[in-house]
Every structure is written in structure tokens, then in C-alpha cells.
Structure 1
Amino acid sequence: MAGRARGTESPETPLHHRPLYDEELDAYRRAIELKPNFAAAYVNLGVALRDLHRFDDALRQFKKALSIDTNDAGARTNRAQTNLLLGEFEHGWREYEWRWRDGTMTHDFPDATQWKGQPLAGKTVLVHAEQGLGDTLQFVRFVERLHAKGANVIVRVQDALLPLLQNVAGAASVIGDSSALPAFDYHVPMLSLPHALALREADFAASGAYLGADADAAARASWSDVIGTGDVGDRRLRVGLVWSGSTTHVNDRNRSMPLAALLPLFDADVRFVSLQKELRERDRVCMDELVQRGRLIDAGARLTTFSATASLVAQLDLVIAVDTAVAHLAGALGKPVWIALPFTPDWRWQLNRDDSPWYANARLFRQTRRGEWADVVISVRTAIDARIAASEATHE
């Protein structure tokens, strides 16, 4: 039971079935009856209540856990992510610093040299990636703010992102995570930047692109067969698709969908391009049929680097994706991106809104029923039809 307190994802059982939720809640409450000072049981109860969108009740359970043990990192991090989900950024960023104490994350840098708002003029600051590729793409935007404070900023990112991020704004240099570390005065984990910079939503609301893609003629020409630039008179929308993320992601069960779930999209008059690098066995037959019918172009094998993906995305009209690194890449490039989200999304997407403060051109499509994508796909298809109609009207 205590293990769940450290996570923020839904458990492996199909919790869209309400009876199973009731059983889970009853189990945690029974544990509390047997051991009233069992802090982890309160945390787990809070996470289950959050999954049901009973946020006030969830926050009360985290508070109760902290009344038992004020240093309970599971309660702190889960309360932080609940507040961030609700848009309470000041409280959320502050307690999110407890993620380093809950046993799920580590880094090799001393706390004594972490930058927490000290003067930076003439100082060298190492900003280091700490979580997934999408997190890096999302939070690297804040490097420029450190440079504006007078810092010499070195950015350390995942090797896979190194070519794409070489020229990120505000960085004196960008290195990969396998490179030797240079000397520095301070370090700061990338997702700690909003807290250290005391940012609120108005401070990070995106105004457009903050990353660039390879835009030279050779790069554009390399994708001509995919985007159809040689097809005279072809004015169809060029739409990239990503329907699943990494199978190793802790929340893969909730955030990914089978390709077959998107079938209602494929009779739209659109040039669909698969940006899917990792194709699952369950999707192969469906993919082959769509490719053979000319309804989907599979570019996956050619997306060997993030720079290559960025080059292709930059030439599309729209990207439709689940919550993966490609969604963040499209947003960072300023590309219109429609993101399909599970019933309880990752905290960064918040609730009850179809836009995002992180990406100016993002549109969010949310599950209305846990684990069911049909309504999301119908909404996306309706939006595609509206986009096609608008495009046709401009060419009349």
C-alpha cells in the first residue's frame, strides 16, 4: 500500500469501474481504522480520491498524513502535483521540490550548490534535465530567464535531444548527459526553475515558438514525398499522428491508445502522416491496412533523431498526439497541436480547459469517461472537419 504513495499514476487495475474504486477506498479506510497514524494509508486514499476528481477530499487526506509526519515526502509530492493540476502554482512548485526525497528520483549534485534564487551576475549555472524527453522540451524555455539575470548558463540534456537543442536561447553551451561535466557555481534541476524563478502562469504563458527546426532546402526536400509538395493541386491538410508513447512509461496504460481507436479519422480528406517511432504488435495489422489503402503515410522508420522529427513536424499543418514528447516538440516549435488526454491527465495539462498556458497553439481533447477514447476521437474528427471547411473557404 505504501508504494502507491510515491506515485501519481492510476494503479494497474481498470479503475474506470466504480466498484473497484469503492473497494480501494474501503481498503485504505479500513487500514486507517486499524492504524490511525498510518500516514501512507492517508496518502494512498488521497491519490485514489484525486483519481475520482474529489480534489478537496484528496487534499484533506494529504494534510492528515502531514499532521502525522510533516516530512512525509509522498504526501508532499502528491499534494504538490494535485495543486499543480488545479493551477495552484505557487503552492505546487514549492512542494514539488520534495520529489527528491520520495525515493523515486535522484541526481548527483549537492544540495548546497543548488540555485534557489541567489544573485547570478558573473556566475555559471548548470541546468540539468531530470525526467523525460518531453519534460526537457517543455522546461528548457526557462534557460533564457537565467541568462537575463546575468548567468553563464550551461544546459545538460539527454543525448537524444542534444542536436535539436544546441542553439537553445540563453545557453552559452549545451552538452549531453554522457558528456564530462564542466565547472559551475550553481546547478538547478530543470523542473525546479519555475520555483526558483518564482513563476506564475502569466510568466510562462507561451506566445509562440521557442525552438527551431532545420529549415534548409535539403531538409525540406527530404520530406517532399511525405508531405506531398510535388502533388500539384493537393491542398489537403497535412496532419501528423502519434497515438501511443513508450511502453515503459509508468502511465502508458492511461495515456496511450490503439491505432484502431483512431479509425473514424481516416475517411477525412486529409494527408495523415504517422510520427510513431515505436509500433506495437497490436497496431501492425491496422497500420499495414491503412498504408495499403493510402490513408496513412508511415514516416516512423525515417525519424531517427529528434531533429529529423522536428524537421518533418515543421512542415505539417497540424499534429494530433497523445501526451508524449512529440506533443511537447510540436508545441515548442509553435505548431498547432491537438493533444488527447486521459480522464485524469498529468498535472501540466490541468483540468476543465481546452487550451494550455504552456503552448499557445495547443488544443486539448479530454476523456469524459475514464479509459474510453471514443468521445475524444469523435471530437477530434469534428474539429478536423471544421478545419477542412475553413481551409476550403479560404481557397474559394
Structure 2
Amino acid sequence: MADAFESLYEQGFQAFHTGNHEAATAALVQALQLRPDHQRAISGLGMVLLGRGLYPQGWALYEARKSVDPTPLDGGDIPEWNGDPLDRRRLLVWPEQGLGDEIQMARYIPLLKGAGRVTLACSPPLARLFGDLGVDIFPTEGAAPPPADVYVRNFSLPRLLGTTLETIPPAPYLRAPADPKRDGVGFVWRGDPTHPNDARRSLPSPDVLAPLGEVAELVDLQTPRGDFLDTAARIQGLDLVVTVDTSMAHLAGALGMPCWVMLPAHGTDWRWLRGRADSPWYPSLRLYRQTTPGDWAEVVARMKADLAAARS
């Protein structure tokens, strides 16, 4: 039985990786019939369903991630919030995953702040950017969690608040002062090298984007200057941002900034769904998907044609 489970489990994630979400669903459902308590398989099936846009089912199963990815608050003195009325209780929202994920989930904070006293814990580079959300901000690095009556992981908020594709809290929801206007297209060509899919989602070199320089001035945003509030100011002074799937896409989308996101053929993240050029999470984004694994030149050629048409 163990061998059968492992085979189905591997089949499921391989199918998900290559974009065959229906086959991934079938394999993981069969795997869970053999081991119904396998938390990674349950969480993985949740991601697959989220990638299919089946949000109510996906969010519920994705809760299994808690068993395999603990936070400093799990099992402590602060109980986890279950979505019941806060009644002015102190709620601590705890971050999960990467910087872009924190930006994506920040859209839920304005929905919470009227019900209780909310503290948003975040990575330090995001603290000033999140300062305009109207709640207390707690940079997580090097300090004990602040007092709270209940806590919630940020990726549990979509389930607790009943998020469907049609009810995603709209963007923009972040603001920042803008730098002086500069004609140009900002670009980010690689993400965090420790990301498990970074070899596919990042470009091999910034030179891949050189054709765009034939129709617009390119502005390198790869090297940070300050924190995310400083970066937000920089990009708002530009005409457009072009980026691989990294935190810059979330930042631009959360600000309502026009942004073109380059997506790999394999290993595309669940949040970008399938076969869409738009994103229900960020209306200002346009998605450019690889049609052949590893072929970024064709993606850039499409972007160049669209950029030339937009500037003509």
C-alpha cells in the first residue's frame, strides 16, 4: 500500500507541475483513499483545486499545511481564530511563505480592522509599506510576538472570509508616494534563488529582455534600493513593470500599477490559475505564459509586439 500511495502521490504532483490539474486531482484523491490522514497530500490537493479556481474546496483542504509548516504561535498560549465575531478582541495576523504572499494576503486587513484591534505581523522590509493599512504593524524579526487574544495565519483568511473567485477583495489596496514621472519600463528578471521552482520561473540573464529595449527605455529594478515602500515609489513613476513571478508582481498589482508577468510553462503557481491572461487577484496585471518549457524568447517577442502597439 505504501508503494501505491507514493506512486499516486508523485503522479499527482508531477501532473500539477506540468499543468494537468485534472490528472493531479484524480491521482491525489486516489492517494488519499489509501492514506486519508496524509497532511502533505491533503494540502497538495488543496493547492491543485485552488489552481483550478475551486476556492471553497481548495481553501478548506489547504488548511492541512499547518501540520507540516508550523509557525512560532502554533500550540502556544494564544488560541487560533476560527472566524467567529472578534467583539473587539485583539487579533494577531501572522505571515506565511514569501514576501509576495504577504502582499497578496494584506488585502484582507481592511476587512478585519473594524471588528477588533488588529496587529499585522510582517517581514521587516514590508513594515513601512503596510503602515497605511490602518492597523498596528509588527516586524517579525528578532522580537517576541505581541500580546493578542487570538491569532490567524494570513493564508487562512481567504477560507475564514469565504473567498471565491468572484469575491476576492479588490486591488489596489496599498498606497505609496510616487517618484517623479519617468518614461520607461521597469524590469525584474529573477526571483529568490532558494525558491523550488526558481530555475524555471527566472530568466537565465537580463539580456533575454533586450528586445524590449528597442521600443522602450528599460529600468533595472532587480537591485533593491531601500525597502518595499521605496520600491513602490520607484515603480509608480514608470509606465509599466515587466517581471518574472516574484514579489514585484504582487507589489505592482497591489498598487494598481500596470504590470506584465512572465510565467513558466511548468510549475506555474496556483494563484495564476490556468490559461488566463488576466488575474482576478490583480486587475492591473497581464500574464504572459510560456508555450514551450524554457522558451522565454517567444514570450518576450509577444511582449515586444504588444508594447510597440501600445506606444504607437
Same fold per superposition (TM over 0.5): yes
| Residue aligned with 1:167, SS | helix
1:161: which partner in 2? Answer: 126
2:303: which partner in 1? Answer: 380
- TM alignment of 1:63-212, pairs within 5 A: 63-102=29-68, 105-110=69-74, 113-148=79-114, 150-169=115-134, 171=135, 173-178=136-141, 179-204=143-168, 206=170, 208-212=171-175
Report how far residue 205 of structure 1 moved.
5.2
**Structure 1 counterpart of 2:95, which letter?**
A
What is the alpha-carbon distance in structure 2 between the residues aligned to residue 327 and residue 211 of structure 1? 13
**Structure 1 counterpart of 2:145, which letter?**
L
**Under a length normalisation based on structure 1, what TM-score does the superposition of the two structures give?**
0.74
8 A contact 1:163–1:307 mirrored in 2:
yes
Across the two proteins, how many residue pairs are aligned to each other? 307
Residue 44 in 1 paired to residue 10 in 2? yes
What is the alpha-carbon distance in structure 1 between the residues aligned to residue 186 and residue 61 of structure 2? 37
Residue 334 in 1 paired to residue 256 in 2? yes
What is the alpha-carbon distance in structure 1 between the residues aligned to residue 196 and residue 23 of structure 2? 25
Report how far residue 248 of structure 1 moved.
1.7
8 A contact 1:43–1:74 mirrored in 2:
no
Deviations 1:270-319 (A, max 9, x none): 12110002xxxxxxxxxxxxxxxxxxxxxx5xx12212111111111111
**Structure 2 counterpart of 1:181, which letter?**
P
| Residue aligned with 2:175, SS | coil
More moved, 55-64 vs 350-359: 55-64
Report how far residue 37 of structure 1 moved.
5.3
What is the alpha-carbon distance in structure 2 between the residues aligned to residue 40 and residue 101 of structure 1? 19
Instruction: Kindly indicate which of the two structures has a greater share of residues assigned to helix.
Output: 1
| Residue aligned with 2:100, SS | helix
What is the alpha-carbon distance in structure 1 between the residues aligned to residue 79 and residue 8 of structure 2? 34
Where does structure 1 lack aligned partners over 5 or more consecutive residues? 1-34, 228-236, 278-299, 390-396
Deviations 1:179-226 (A, max 9, x none): 3322111100111100111111221152x42111134xxxx35xx7xx
Q: Identity, % of aligned pairs?
A: 33
Deviations 1:27-85 (A, max 9, x none): xxxxxxxx565423211111112233332222111111111111111211111111111
1:348: which partner in 2? Answer: 271
Where does structure 2 lack aligned partners over 5 or more consecutive residues? none
8 A contact 1:205–1:360 mirrored in 2:
no
More moved, 177-186 vs 315-324: 177-186
| Residue aligned with 1:203, SS | coil
Deviations 1:140-178 (A, max 9, x none): 110111124x11111000011112111214x2x111002
**Structure 1 counterpart of 2:157, which letter?**
L
**Structure 2 counterpart of 1:376, which letter?**
V
**Under a length normalisation based on structure 2, what TM-score does the superposition of the two structures give?**
0.93
Larger radius of gyration: 1
8 A contact 1:339–1:363 mirrored in 2:
yes
What is the alpha-carbon distance in structure 2 between the residues aligned to residue 317 and residue 54 of structure 1? 35
Residue 322 in 1 paired to residue 288 in 2? no
CA RMSD of aligned residues (A): 1.7
- TM alignment of 1:174-323, pairs within 5 A: 174-178=137-141, 179-204=143-168, 206=170, 208-215=171-178, 220=179, 227=182, 237-257=183-203, 258-268=205-215, 270-277=216-223, 303-323=225-245
Instruction: Give the structure, 1 or 2, with the largest relative contact order (CA under 8 Å, sep 6 or more).
Output: 2
